[in-house]
Structure 1
Amino acid sequence: MPNGEYLRYVALGDSQTEGLGDGDDTVGLRGFADRFAEHLTAVSPGLQYANLAVRGRVAGQVRAEQLGPALALRPDLATVVAGVNDLLRPRFDAAEVAGQLEEMFAALTAAGAHVVTLTFPDIGKIAPLARPLGSRVLDLNDRIRAAAARQGVSVAETAAPPVTTDPRMWTVDRLHASPLGHERIAAAIADAIRLPGSSDAWTRPLPPQASPTRRQTAAAELRWATAFLGPWLGRRLRGRSSGDGRTAKRPRLLPLGAPPSHDSPPHEAPSDPA
């Protein structure tokens, strides 16, 4: 789009796009997509924005449930961010996940939208108990880059800067970005499409802080496993998801300041992943 003037932005994805970690279901979720829409509105005051994301969704569900409605909205800009819920599951197939993403990339670009996606930071650097998943993250990121290159999709490389694994960028569940993390992701996406006023400032490190001792680190890992990992595994074994019964928070294109068109069901579990 000339001068970065987009008029219809649609966000597809899971809980990160929905905004978990940035606000709550009482006061409302914000998240990187809302924050990115703010960047866009500063350039294009007439922007209309829809957010179709639903927490707990894997990439195949995002494609099956959100792609059709997204295409019906005829966006000129779309973000597609999914895959974290897939790589947390025992049976993870990076090629299959990337294929689901590429189908969305292809359909949206063919419909005239500029599509943006992102790569994922190493989960093991955020939650040490998740280090065995590091190879999955690297594999998925490589496949996302390749699919994006084939389809002419812009990529915000949020996997690269060390700041993206700073604990302050994440909530206590270590699976959802904090308000600061969502702010940086939005800035990264704006930078990826060279939106007027954007820059690479999002990559800069946060002010230094004291490092925890080994004992403090071990205690923090135990608290995290007890408060978040254990309950999450329990829900998976019971076949439940934080997204059960939920619908998109913003299914229609509206100006950024307009309230959502309907109420969402009650929030189930803030500790569930994306």
Structure 2
Amino acid sequence: MVRATVGGRTLAVVMWQRYVAIGDSTTEGLDDPDGDGGYRGWADRFALAVARAQGGLEYANLAIRGRTTARIRAEQLPVALHLAPDLATVVAGMNDVLRPSFDADRVAEDVGAMQRALVGQGATVLTFTLPDPVPVMPIARPLRGRMLALNAAVRAVTAETGATLLDLGAHPVASDPRLWSDDRLHANTAGHERIAAALAYTAGLPGYDDSWTRPLPPGGRRPRTEVVRAELAWTRRHLLPWLARHLRGRSSGDDRVAKRPVPLPVAPD
């Protein structure tokens, strides 16, 4: 990869040959429909931004929904290392936060191990912290402390590994409910677009600035009756099925495979 300085910023010009994304549902792309029955997501959008900036790119996405950080390290990292990327994203931790056995230091250790392994092979590695879930999902208030602890641990370990951190969790706009899908666990299309733009800016791609940090225009206040209806609908459609699945020891990622397991060219247009 070659870099150039333009207007005081260091920009990536050329050339990453191969990008591999590992992670869970957010890296897989939920809930950003691709129009073909699948999901696009920020990783696909970031890959396209890189391809456009340098005229091409090979891209694989190994992420599978429901995966904990330990499983991503055990199952996806060896495949990613075999693919020998020179650009990678490592994003994980949300599924750990939701589990009773959560340990921020252990999760950060797994994240750091993945970063070190990929950096050690010569890859540029990007990762990001997770947004505060409470503005999106008020019922998640008991989890805020866990998220803050995880973000602090990820910041610390990333500073040691040579990976590059996008501190998404430090920007309030990342928790704007209008950037989140109906299930309140995944970004919607606008949210995925913003994350991709943030990664492109962090990677130094030309044509990107810090506009992704700016808040959305003020929204109108919803009537209380509408809020109550929305809460009841969310509980019925999303919370209760999630609880039932986890009580049975099941995961949304059971029996699923990666959507893009081998590197394929990304067409810049």
TM, length-normalised to structure 2: 0.92
Q: Which runs of 5+ in 2 are unaligned?
A: 4-11
The match for 1:157 is: 167
| Pairing 1:118–2:104 present | no
State how far apart, in whole Å, the 2-side matches of 1:170 and 1:178 are: 5
State how far apart, in whole Å, the 1-side matches of 2:87 and 2:103 are: 28
Q: Which runs of 5+ in 1 are unaligned?
A: 259-274
Q: What secondary structure, in the 3-state scheme, does the structure 1 residue paired with 2:135 have?
A: helix
Structure 1 186/224 Cα, relative in aligned 2: closer, same or farther at 3 Å?
A: same
Query: What per-residue deviation string (whole Å, max 9, x for no partner) do you get for residues 221-271 of structure 1?
Result: 22212221111011001011111111111111111249xxxxxxxxxxxxx
Structure 1 98/105 Cα, relative in aligned 2: closer, same or farther at 3 Å?
A: same
Aligned residues: 258
State how far apart, in whole Å, the 1-side matches of 2:44 and 2:127 are: 15
Structure 1 69/25 Cα, relative in aligned 2: closer, same or farther at 3 Å?
A: farther
State how far apart, in whole Å, the 2-side matches of 1:192 and 1:162 are: 17
The match for 1:53 is: 63
Deviates more, 1:19-28 or 1:180-189: 19-28
The answer (yes or no) to whether the contact 2:91–2:128 under 8 Å persists in 1 is: yes
Q: What secondary structure, in the 3-state scheme, does the structure 2 residue paired with 1:172 have?
A: coil
Structure 1 25/83 Cα, relative in aligned 2: closer, same or farther at 3 Å?
A: farther
State how far apart, in whole Å, the 1-side matches of 2:250 and 2:189 are: 27
The answer (yes or no) to whether the contact 2:128–2:168 under 8 Å persists in 1 is: yes
The answer (yes or no) to whether the contact 1:7–1:44 under 8 Å persists in 2 is: no
The match for 1:65 is: 75
State how far apart, in whole Å, the 1-side matches of 2:182 and 2:37 are: 19
What does 1:87-98 align with in structure 2 at a 5 Å threshold?
87-98=97-108
State how far apart, in whole Å, the 2-side matches of 1:218 and 1:131 are: 18
The answer (yes or no) to whether the contact 1:129–1:221 under 8 Å persists in 2 is: no
Query: What per-residue deviation string (whole Å, max 9, x for no partner) do you get for residues 54-93 of structure 1?
Result: 1110101110110011011111110001100110112211
User: Out of 133, 150, 157, which is 1:140 matched to?
Assistant: 150
Q: What secondary structure, in the 3-state scheme, does the structure 1 residue paired with 2:264 have?
A: strand
Query: Once the 2 structures are TM-superposed, how far is the Cα of residue 43 of structure 1 from its aligned partner?
Result: 1.4
| Pairing 1:7–2:17 present | yes
The answer (yes or no) to whether the contact 2:93–2:107 under 8 Å persists in 1 is: yes
The match for 2:240 is: 230
| Pairing 1:167–2:177 present | yes
| Pairing 1:35–2:49 present | no
| Pairing 1:208–2:224 present | no
Q: What secondary structure, in the 3-state scheme, does the structure 2 residue paired with 1:155 have?
A: strand
The match for 2:27 is: 17
Query: What per-residue deviation string (whole Å, max 9, x for no partner) do you get for residues 107-155 of structure 1?
Result: 0000100110001111112100111100000000000001100001111
Deviates more, 1:235-244 or 1:26-35: 26-35
Deviates more, 1:161-170 or 1:99-108: 161-170
Q: What secondary structure, in the 3-state scheme, does the structure 1 residue paired with 2:169 have?
A: coil
The match for 1:106 is: 116
Query: What per-residue deviation string (whole Å, max 9, x for no partner) do you get for residues 197-243 of structure 1?
Result: 22111111222220223443333222212221111011001011111
Query: Once the 2 structures are TM-superposed, how far is the Cα of residue 195 of structure 1 from its aligned partner?
Result: 1.7
